[in-house]
Amino acid sequence: MIAYFFSLKTTIISKLDYLKAFILLMIPFGLIAKQPDLGTGILVFTSGFFVLFYAGLSWRIIIVAIVLFILSTPVIWHFLHAYQQHRILTLINPQSDPLGKGYHIIQGMIAIGSGGFWGKGYLHGTQTHLNFIPEKNTDFVITVLAEEFGYLGVCILLFLYIILVFRGLSIMRRAHDIFSTVLAGSITMSLMLYVLINMGMVAGILPVVGVPLPLISYGGTATIVLMAGFGILLAINKRSKY
């Protein structure tokens, strides 16, 4: 929707236009965060922000926004729900609640570490097949890959994701209009964002949120939406050839 909004502009995009687009973005973010589902809301907000960025949002504005966000963290902390605060505190010290909120993070890191460089082999992972990892089919599926195929297997998967990202950015670069450019860029960066957040939360770098690993996690809806995004990228690529 934001990409379409920018495509209607026949003149240079002004700061007022960016403000209007930001308001459009805050509407779904606010509704989702109100559920409360702050994790999904942040993902939606970030995907929309990519559109603003590729549409030419000034770096100066971005840096000022980041600084203001950092300075306002004490205020934001006050408005977080108790479980959201607990997630952040658990990220800092998972051992504070090893059988509760910190259980997933601890077991995930154990599974990743036990795989070593080469892994234990297909279907030979102990942490995953002995059900120490509760969400091994969905959010924590990377632990299965890391334990059975090791560091090498994870690197191969990351390499395949990097190919997809570079291919998407290549399609964005060849697009001939602003709508196709910002749409291709935001779809590609959203894919990368999901990969980084999923792997980051399993490795204990980011708070645990319900984010699937693209094309790997179990779930038909997520796969259908992702493949629809790939279809849009292919359509933009085909259109740019004419």
DSSP for residue 130: T
One domain, residues 47 and 109? no
One domain, residues 50 and 124? no
One domain, residues 241 and 141? yes
- Per the listing, tokens 């038909």 go with 220
- For residue 159, is it within any domain? yes
pTM for the model stands at: 0.83
- For residue 167, is it within any domain? yes
- At residue 11, the pLDDT reads 80
Phi, psi dihedral angles at 97 (to 5 degrees)? -145, 70
- For residue 87, is it within any domain? no
Structure tokens at 156: 């191969």
One domain, residues 221 and 111? yes
- At residue 118, the pLDDT reads 87
One domain, residues 118 and 13? no
Q: Which residues does the chain have with pLDDT short of 70?
A: 242
- For residue 88, is it within any domain? no
- At residue 138, the pLDDT reads 81
Q: Which amino acid is at 94?
A: P
* Domain that residue 17 falls in: 1-80
- At residue 40, the pLDDT reads 85
One domain, residues 137 and 113? yes
Given 49, 80, 111, which residue is the final one in a domain? 80
- At residue 232, the pLDDT reads 94
One domain, residues 110 and 228? yes
Handedness of CA 189, 191, 197, 200 (dihedral sign): negative
One domain, residues 104 and 21? no
One domain, residues 61 and 117? no
Overall number of domains in the chain = 2
- For residue 90, is it within any domain? no
- For residue 91, is it within any domain? no
One domain, residues 116 and 223? yes
- For residue 89, is it within any domain? no
One domain, residues 126 and 196? yes
